[in-house]
Homo-oligomer: A and B are copies of this chain.
Amino acid sequence: MNKHPEFLLNKIENPKDLKKLDLKELEQLASEIRTLILEKDAAEGGHLGPDLGIVEATIAYHYVFDAPKDKIIWDVSHQTYPHKMLTGRAYAWLDPDKYEDVTPYSNPDESPYDYYAVGHTSTSVALATGMARARDMMGNHENITALIGDGSLTGGLAFEGFNNAADEKHNLIIVVNDNQMSIDDNVGGVVTALKKLRESNGQAEDNPFTAMGLDYKYVGQGNDIKSMIDAFKAVKDIDHPIVLHINTLKGKGYEPAIENEASHHWVLPFDLKTDKPTVPAPKTPNASTVILDFLKKHIENQENILVINAAIPGVFGLGEIKNNYPKNYKDVGIAEQESVAFAAGAVKEGITPILFENSTFLQRAYDQLSHDVAANDLPVVMIVAGGGITAASKTHLGIFDNTMVANWPNWEYLAPTTLNELKSMLEWAVK
């Protein structure tokens, strides 16, 4: 049953309907979309902060552009709830009975407004470069847009995409959605570069985008519908590639999500009044607590343990290591290739790197696991989460790590079945 029959959103069957609204109505729509994101996430869990932050930009995009002729590729596509609501799928938020009818990532089987099944970061610009070039070959002229977050910029594939975007001869719009957060704090030189641009209102001389020959525009108020409409109008039908750098607030509209962005990137079902999870906390000890205890023991023991991960410390509860043992902690960003090569570099110097990876993201680092570690026979210890046969979406399967590793020399693959086994395997691995 539709919980909000009075919502304006009920009248939006597709983006064309949006174009008839005035600014006040668009703002009304933004507020409805936020309510719906929060209500469904509170009930079901899901991505929260990224979607709350992108509401205005999404409304403005669909107000200005003509999807599905004009095409937008959402990086990771974990921020597409507003997009889905505006492209005929609002029922899956309005009606609790239909909560399960729409999938969480972009999905071409679901809608002509979604172009790819994605779920791994940093692919949007690369996909868009291929689309733009193909559009040119066919003599078409639609707008091709990629929207990528500041965190996802730390992935090498994003850079490969930008490098080729700079060679595109016609229209290509790259929106950098800079909410100053990855899942956890964003890291590296990218953070510095974006900061200089924000603080100079886009005027900093040191501009990595224009350095590559890309045109560039900055929007300080990325959560203001009017500013975003103006910005999109200014770049619509542009005849060359351009970077539109927008400053947005992750979690906007829900205080707890702004105060603690990392824990509200993705949430389990929670109470909207207290922000407390409504599902029981995991029993302890569990695999995470066993691993943490193990790490702390060895670090306190003055051993040269370096805990490495690629932008997902929360998956393993590594916050405690990050905060209490910064000397022993490294987050390389959404850079799985770097994480493995970094570990290979570190172990070669004589320390013990322990690399935390998610099975599905690990496939980014196939070449480094095979060459930099296996072919060099280096004793890197890796802890992989999410392996196995699970009910994850098809972009987050954990069934490939095993088959990857099985074909390389020098790797040992252990799968503990009890916490005691886990403990012994960890001790064995660092020896």
Chain A interface size, as a band, is 35 or more
Which one, B117, B163, B353, B395, contacts A189 given CB within 8 A?
A: B163
> Mask for A124-146, Cβ within 8 A of B = 1, else 0?
00111111111101101000000
On whether the beta carbons of B116 and A164 are closer than 8 Å, the reply is: no
With a CB–CB cut-off of 8 A, which chain B residues contact A129? 332, 338, 341-342, 345
With a CB–CB cut-off of 8 A, which chain B residues contact A155? 156, 160
A278 interface contact, C-beta 8 A? no
A162 interface contact, C-beta 8 A? yes
Interface-central residue, A304, A350, A367, by most chain B CB under 10 Å: A367
A158 interface contact, C-beta 8 A? yes
With a CB–CB cut-off of 8 A, which chain B residues contact A17? none
A114 to chain B, nearest CB (A): 11
A277 interface contact, C-beta 8 A? no
Among the 9-residue stretches A210-218, A224-232, A417-425, the one with 4 or more Cβ atoms under 8 Å from chain B is A210-218
A296 interface contact, C-beta 8 A? no
A233 interface contact, C-beta 8 A? no
On whether the beta carbons of B368 and A366 are closer than 8 Å, the reply is: no
A429 interface contact, C-beta 8 A? no
When all copies of this chain in the complex are counted, the total is 2
With a CB–CB cut-off of 8 A, which chain B residues contact A128? 345
A112 to chain B, nearest CB (A): 12
On whether the beta carbons of A350 and B134 are closer than 8 Å, the reply is: yes
Q: Is the interface of A mostly helix, strand, loop or mixed?
A: helix
A330 to B196, CA, bound (A): 34
With a CB–CB cut-off of 8 A, which chain B residues contact A207? 206, 211
- A363-B367, A376-B116 known; A163 vs B137 contact (CB < 8 Å): no
A208 interface contact, C-beta 8 A? yes
With a CB–CB cut-off of 8 A, which chain B residues contact A321? none
A370 to B337, CA, bound (A): 16
> Mask for A148-173, Cβ within 8 A of B = 1, else 0?
00000011111111111111000000
A3 interface contact, C-beta 8 A? no
A375 to B375, CA, bound (A): 29
Which one, B166, B343, B344, B350, contacts A138 given CB within 8 A?
A: B350
A205's nearest neighbour on chain B, judged by CB, is B205
A108 to B165, CA, bound (A): 38
A4 interface contact, C-beta 8 A? no
Can you list 13 A-B contacts (CB < 8 A)? A116-B344, A116-B376, A117-B375, A130-B346, A134-B304, A137-B327, A156-B159, A163-B189, A163-B190, A166-B192, A189-B213, A206-B211, A403-B403
Residues of A within 8 A of B (CB): 108, 115-120, 123, 126-135, 137-138, 140, 154-167, 187-190, 192-193, 196, 204-208, 210-214, 304, 306, 327-328, 330, 332-333, 335, 337-338, 341-351, 353, 363-364, 366-368, 370-372, 375-376, 394-395, 400, 403-404, 407
Given A157-B338, A192-B211, A205-B206, 18 extra CB contacts under 8 A = A116-B376, A118-B372, A119-B371, A126-B342, A127-B372, A130-B347, A134-B346, A134-B353, A135-B349, A155-B156, A156-B156, A157-B337, A157-B341, A160-B335, A163-B187, A164-B335, A366-B367, A403-B407
